[in-house]
Chain A
């Protein structure tokens, strides 16, 4: 197992290195005009623009820039400073200030989604084709078919005008002002857990071993909980660590819509403003979390299902 972990760790490091290097090189392929705002392009002379590019090290050869980036990262753990979003602030501070908010809202939403979505999915499978199942399917179709911003607006209207909840997230009143963003986050992921749980359950219910269990006289409840649910939950469990870790990334749409100062919109903002250091750091963060999440998922399923082993010749994943 330890060998497997080490192997995966090395693979992960190489993947992150490749992703970050690729992003670094792609950003340097963009014309340096992107370094300036339209306003700066209007006001600065060519000489002043060159001065600034030179001061930022952007006129150096790309390999020199890349070497400098990795040298600072490995020797000083320094990701550089933000050039645009929060001028001259350390990137770690820019990202760090948003990390917790996204994670808090994301974890609450994930908890709600699991607590609500998984049982509903089970019940849908149990009463497949019935009224409850059809209502569940209608909900899932509605949430996935209607553009998210439309039902966010619906949630906002109902919540703000009828229930008097704050329309925007505010740090001065984080409890009540979190209700609408968490609701929007949860509505989507509840439908997702409902859909997948129902689907895996139905798949399992149609398998031979379940028919055999029923023929042997096991009660429906025992069949559902001892066999079907346990096996149906495996695919969801594998992605659970991944989903938990990626709550850090926030949701671009929800955070933008409710002005949540989270990590969600930061990557697009950083790209659109050519804030290269921030882009690199976020890409590195997302890549690390994604890889770690998948790795932990693999470990988790070996705990839940002892038949699965990560090493050895048989049953290897």
Chain B
């Protein structure tokens, strides 16, 4: 009977998919952004924000891009290779690529030198104000030195000397740095052009370097364009002065209103990619407004806010009830970051918390004691477990030679052999109770009083954050016990960093990290002990200020494991296995607690599994090869797409 039912269901799904296949595709896509996500700069090298890069990835072609499975695929470069196992990378460009203006008029050929101009721009202190420097500076031979050289020039000091306290920029120095061409750059930086090939030399073998070639720090800019508009012209470039080389040009743009993408005329890869006749991105005030536009047919998809989802989901007669579908996860992996050096509001140390969180049993009791279901439901009310995140590194960032996702390697190391994601499996009440008892004994001996207050901060006027904090409060009360941890919600006025993080007031910070390139080091490198570049270690956990010896020893061990993995260049599987070991150590010791992925619900006429998917970098918003339908997809149809995709 079950087989018959499943057969019938499959036939129905196939029929529905077949009926969709017969429906018309959308030729003129209407989509939206919330007004706070308006483009700030049209200079692809200057931007570090998704709001800009989501647009710019359609306008200029990088060397490589991603397909809908997240795999690296050729773009401006038709092929790439490393003749020496990862230190030197050679990218061979396609022929016939052109720079055009916003009206499609041809301006120049795209040539390999344009990538030299692009990198020179990024590394030149006076031209790009230090934006996007860190990745090339850490990877390419001579890049850091060239940046330092231009900075010294701009300050009018001798290259190689320390910048004096309170130093001021020199007007002549800035002008001299801005006037730099390629000569000094090529002299200092190990990058060269041979015909239609660009050759980068890395500081060490970097197996993930091709993924960096999808990112804006390695994007091109036409040398002829720079010659025409000058440095200040490119710094202040706008949609109607930009030269385009990507699949679309912006044919109309009104700030905080709408932008219209039109297919680039004579695009070199016109036959290789499917494009829309136009893509109109409307700026809307909020999710409610987007939904009302979707209902009047003025948008082709909408992401649903919690209240809208509730209304539709709980009412089977709602006209959209059968059309709800899940989005694919964004590239961000969210974690609970414990703060190990918390202060009271008067600046004195919060000894009670600091001692408690430094205790391994205390941290592990939370890791194994909490059932995060209600918290996950704040992100995804219908299917909270689809948001489950058991690893720190994002899903899909790296895949080993057998096609196994890196996060699966971490789960294997942790012994999380859960069968699917249908319940909150990490909770182990017996183990958590034992750990709680052990922690209370150990900490009482150290003078810690219970319940330990856990201070959590939200923005005072954010009702959504307030509702989430209420859920967290209840969750901690239910699973940890009010005798053990007292979850206290406090508020800040406008800026988390200034008001909370810098004064070190919060015990818990929840944050998501998205990778810039395809290697676990991009995640794990943020947590290592004693590293000034490790963002979370220095700005969230404050581990470098912690004093508990056992805690520091655990962090040092984790850091040692990361360092060991980092230098494995010749065997990608061994590299990922070593990183997985380090990450498992970090999670098992509950130094950080992975929590969720952002998977929301939507109504859409776009097959989400046909869209470019990228777990890192900036390629995820390219409007190419999308499958669409003039009617909104039903739930079963999107499920069928997912099943097909995951086969």
A52 to B131, CA, bound (A): 9
A172 within 8 A of B: yes
Q: Which residues of B contact A172 (CB under 8 A)?
A: 252, 258, 260
Least distance between A165 CB and chain B CB atoms (Å): 10
A9 within 8 A of B: no
Residues of chain A from 50 to 80 with CB closer than 8 A to chain B in the complex: 51-52, 54-55, 59-60
B48 within 8 A of A: yes
A261 to B282, CA, bound (A): 11
Q: Which residues of B contact A122 (CB under 8 A)?
A: none
Least distance between B622 CB and chain A CB atoms (Å): 21
Q: Which residues of B contact A54 (CB under 8 A)?
A: 167-169
Q: Which residue of B lies closest to A31 (CB)?
A: B498
Known: A54-B169, A55-B169, A260-B257. A89 touches B48 (CB 8 A): no
Q: Which of B283, B296, B498 contacts A34 (CB 8 A)?
A: B498
B296-A161 in contact (CB<8A): yes
Q: Which residues of A contact B125 (CB under 8 A)?
A: 51
Residues of chain B from 137 to 190 with CB closer than 8 A to chain A in the complex: 151, 166-169
Known: A43-B48, A160-B292, A259-B35. A171 touches B256 (CB 8 A): no
Q: Which residues of B contact A256 (CB under 8 A)?
A: 35, 285
A139 within 8 A of B: no
Q: Which residues of B contact A31 (CB under 8 A)?
A: 495, 498
A51-B151 in contact (CB<8A): yes
B282-A168 in contact (CB<8A): yes
B415 within 8 A of A: no
B256-A33 in contact (CB<8A): no
Q: Which residue of B lies closest to A94 (CB)?
A: B255
B640 within 8 A of A: no
B79 within 8 A of A: no
Known: A39-B49, A256-B285. A261 touches B498 (CB 8 A): no
A81 within 8 A of B: yes
Least distance between B472 CB and chain A CB atoms (Å): 20
Least distance between B368 CB and chain A CB atoms (Å): 29
Residues of chain B from 285 to 303 with CB closer than 8 A to chain A in the complex: 285, 289, 292-293, 295-296, 298
Known: A259-B282, A259-B283. A168 touches B298 (CB 8 A): yes
Q: Which residues of B contact A161 (CB under 8 A)?
A: 295-296
B330 within 8 A of A: no
Binary A-proximity of B126-138 (CB < 8 A = 1, otherwise 0): 0001100110000
Q: Which residues of B contact A89 (CB under 8 A)?
A: 236, 238
A48 within 8 A of B: yes
B296-A167 in contact (CB<8A): yes
Known: A45-B533, A55-B129. A261 touches B495 (CB 8 A): no
Known: A43-B134, A81-B236. A34 touches B495 (CB 8 A): yes
Least distance between A281 CB and chain B CB atoms (Å): 15
Q: Which of A41, A167, A171 contacts B539 (CB 8 A)?
A: A41
Q: Which residues of B contact A52 (CB under 8 A)?
A: 129-130
A161 to B291, CA, bound (A): 13
Least distance between A21 CB and chain B CB atoms (Å): 24
Least distance between B181 CB and chain A CB atoms (Å): 21
B298-A261 in contact (CB<8A): no
Q: Which of A48, A85, A170 contacts B130 (CB 8 A)?
A: A48
Known: A40-B48, A43-B48, A168-B293. A261 touches B254 (CB 8 A): yes
B255-A261 in contact (CB<8A): yes
A135 within 8 A of B: no
Q: Which residues of A contact B285 (CB under 8 A)?
A: 256-257, 259
A290 within 8 A of B: no
Q: Which residue of A lies closest to B513 (CB)?
A: A42
B284-A88 in contact (CB<8A): no
Residues of chain B from 383 to 399 with CB closer than 8 A to chain A in the complex: none
B496 within 8 A of A: yes
A171-B257 in contact (CB<8A): yes
A156 within 8 A of B: yes
B92 within 8 A of A: no
Interface residues on A, range: 35 or more
A51 to B147, CA, bound (A): 12
Known: A55-B169, A88-B235, A256-B35. A167 touches B133 (CB 8 A): no
B115 within 8 A of A: no
A44 to B532, CA, bound (A): 11
A265 to B257, CA, bound (A): 12
A259-B258 in contact (CB<8A): yes
A98 to B257, CA, bound (A): 11
A85-B129 in contact (CB<8A): no
A259-B284 in contact (CB<8A): yes
A37 within 8 A of B: yes
Known: A45-B134, A51-B130, A81-B236. A39 touches B48 (CB 8 A): yes
Q: Which of B166, B255, B256, B535 contacts A42 (CB 8 A)?
A: B535
Q: Which residue of A lies closest to B154 (CB)?
A: A55
B40 within 8 A of A: yes
A170-B258 in contact (CB<8A): yes
Q: Which residue of B lies closest to A255 (CB)?
A: B256
Question: 5 closest Cβ contacts across the A-B interface?
Answer: A87-B41, A88-B236, A261-B257, A33-B498, A48-B130
Q: Which residues of A contact B (CB under 8 A)?
A: 31, 33-34, 37-45, 48, 51-52, 54-55, 59-60, 81, 84-90, 94, 97-98, 153, 156-157, 160-161, 166-172, 256-257, 259-261, 265
Known: A44-B130, A59-B166, A259-B282. 15 other contacts (CB 8 A): A31-B495, A33-B498, A34-B498, A40-B48, A45-B134, A51-B130, A52-B130, A88-B232, A89-B236, A168-B282, A168-B284, A256-B285, A257-B285, A260-B257, A261-B255
Q: Which residues of B contact A (CB under 8 A)?
A: 35, 38, 40-41, 43, 46, 48-49, 125, 129-130, 133-134, 151, 166-169, 232, 235-236, 238, 252, 254-258, 260, 282-285, 289, 292-293, 295-296, 298, 495-498, 502, 532-533, 535, 539
